[in-house]
Amino acid sequence: MKNTIEKLILREARLLDEQKLDEWLQLYAKEATYWVPIDETVNPLKESSIIFDNYLRLAMRVEQIMNQNRVAQTPASQMLRQISNLEIELDSETEATAHFGMFLTEVRSGDWRQRGLGEMRHYPARCDLTARLIDNEWKITAKKIVLLNRYQPIVGLSFII
Amino acid sequence: MTKVQTETIKSIVDDQAQEFRVSTDAYRKKEIFDLEMERIFYKTWIFLCHESEIQKPGDFKSTQIGTQPVIVSKSRDGQIHAVLNACTHRGATLCREEKGNTRALVCPYHGWSFRPSGELIGIPDESRYPQCFNKKEKDLKKVPRISSYGGLVFGSFNPDVEDLETFLGGVKQHIDIWLKRTAGSRYQVATAHKYGFEGNWKFQAENVFDGYHPGFVHRSAFNTVSKFEGSFENRALDVAVRQSGYTRGYPEGHGTLEAGAPLESGGVDPEVRQAYNDKLKELYGEEGAEEVRANRQFLIFPNLTVFDYNIRVIQPIDHDRTEVYSYPLLIEDAHEQINSNHMLDAQTRVGTAGILSADDIDVFAGAQNALNALSLDWITLSRGLDKEEIKSDGERVGVYSDEVPHRAFWRKWSSLMSTDGQQDK
């Protein structure tokens, strides 16, 4: 079963890399949370985060990027998420928790010589993911991405990290 | 680096009846940036922090006035101080943290210690210094003027700067209305969102009160919001250019953008929202409450923006590099749902990964690129030029998409930049 969870994590990474965001959103349970903290010890309903989305807000991001020609994703980002340091715990038959490292490299090319384009940006992060077996399918109920550079300014987070 | 001539500075803003133009040198030349530091950032009032960032004695925050590193703190007697983050011994940086609480700043180099308010308290192995060594001159360099209004703390390197309320002038009434939204309580800032862009700081300053761009730059966000019922109930834009609302520009350089529509987003129970609206009515009357609830956002010259529920500091780093620190605002006594809603709203819209902000900064980077074009010497800020309502106190009013506040900004900019080595009174 650990293999199943690992496959889920890798599949999520590939769908995000390929910007197949409709399919990606299907991996998430309706009650899911997507959290990219600034301070990972706070309550994200009471203190700022880079992202704290419920399913609705995630769906809005998907819509804005996939169907609405978002300025900041024209041209779109090219991305590769490298997943490592994978630890999976099976909490029960139907629940699992995973901790892993993610190294995302992102670049918008287009006319790469222009300012704001061409630069390869790196996003190393420690991730936590909780998944539950719902109607025979493993769905993500919580994802947390703790970026190494979360305390300082980040440029260009117009894609789904 | 060539020294910029005064005639060159005076020719940057071209203020004529038929067209208002600004030279692109203002955005693309490093020499102009350096002069902005000298004649604007070190001569006028610059935002240091919100009062809620330094609440307890010993609280401090590292910030910058222009490109100068400054530590602002609250001392035991409740006073606010700001000092340069530089040891008077050999110029080491005293503090490497973003914020914290301390009784003394101890230099990591040779252990000299200072109160955060600046006084030198200790020199290790002091006996090796000569008898006549003047310790009193070795206090940390202070920011000579500190003043607050409405919880916004400002500092100035200019000891003779006009007092803060004179500086605020016409924007004071807007700050007052913004304060009234706390319904008798006080604001508390949440942790800042921080983002950056590869462009001149003035792109972001001008963007705050720019009512012409949202229908284009933010088209994707508005279309998205319309498709998700109950997500954001306010001000989604169907037309290309909003036709209702106002812009204002003040002689002090500040400017506003007012949508004239009530602000609020989804996610708050109707009873909670009603209770808040009732409180506003109780405090300010029916009309007053309506005025308080109507959206306005404004720039306090040169680089502080006040939105409905967040404030943004536009931090110049270099002529083509800027950082923005965007603080969501919580209200001390407000219902938890209201605060959570305001915070998540600011986060989703104008945070680091915001559905609005990320698109603006891509445009700014593109502008920094394009403005280097050989023959692109001027930009034009002429919307509403011959249709302004000009009031007796100098306030100018236009419609939402007019460039009234841009012109106010540039007139003030030009006035300060043309002042050669004299104090701005």
Chain B, nearest residue to A50 by Cα: B352
Q: Where are the beta strands (DSSP E) in chain A?
A: 28-37, 49-54, 77-90, 95-108, 121-134, 137-147
Question: Do the Cβ atoms of A161 and B353 come within 8 Å?
Answer: yes
Q: For residues B87 and B289, give the distance between their C-alpha atoms in angstroms, rounded to a whole number.
A: 50
**Domain-wise residue ranges, chain A:** 2-147
pLDDT at residue B424 in the model: 45
Give per-residue pLDDT as tens, A8-65. 999 999 999 999 999 999 999 999 999 999 999 999 999 999 999 999 999 999 999 9
Q: Is B354 exposed, middle or buried (0-12, 13-18, 19+ CB in 10 A)?
A: buried
If one counts every other C-beta atom within 10 angstroms of the C-beta of residue B151, the result is 20
pLDDT digits (tens, 9 = 90+) for B351-379: 999 999 999 999 999 999 999 898 999 99
Spell out the long-range contacts of B230-234 with Cβ–Cβ below 8 A and sequence spacing 24 or more: B230/B266, B231/A56, B231/A57, B231/A60, B231/B265, B231/B266, B232/B265, B232/B266, B232/B345, B232/B349, B233/B264, B233/B265, B233/B266, B234/B261, B234/B262, B234/B263, B234/B264, B234/B265, B234/B295
Residue B157 has pLDDT above 90, yes or no: yes
Q: pLDDT band for position B295 (50/70/90)? A: confident
For residue B327, give how far its alpha carbon lies from the nearest alpha carbon of chain A (Å).
9
b/e burial code for range B99-111 (CB count within 10 A of at least 16 → b)? beeeeebbbeeee
How would residue B263 be classed by pLDDT, with cut points 50, 70 and 90? low
Query: CA of B362 to nearest chain A CA: how many angstroms apart?
Result: 6
pLDDT at B262 over 70: no
Cα B145 from Cα B81, distance rounded (Å): 9
> Comparing A134-143, B86-95, B170-179, B238-247, which segment has the lowest mean pLDDT?
B238-247
Q: Residue A38: list chain B partners with CB under 8 A.
A: 191, 193
Confidence of residue B190 (pLDDT cuts 50, 70, 90): very high
* Residue B2 pLDDT exceeds 90: no
Confidence of residue B264 (pLDDT cuts 50, 70, 90): low
Residues on chain B touching A71 (C-beta within 8 angstroms): 217, 220, 359, 362-363
The pLDDT value recorded for residue B421 is: 62
- Least confident span in A69-78, B31-40, B224-233, B382-391: B224-233
Bigger pLDDT: B425 or B48?
B48
Inter-chain CB pairs, A–B, below 8 Å: 122
Interchain contact A43–B (C-beta under 8 A): no
Does the domain at A2-147 match CATH 3.10.450.50? Answer given as: yes
Angle at B9 between CA B8 and CA B10, to 5 degrees: 95
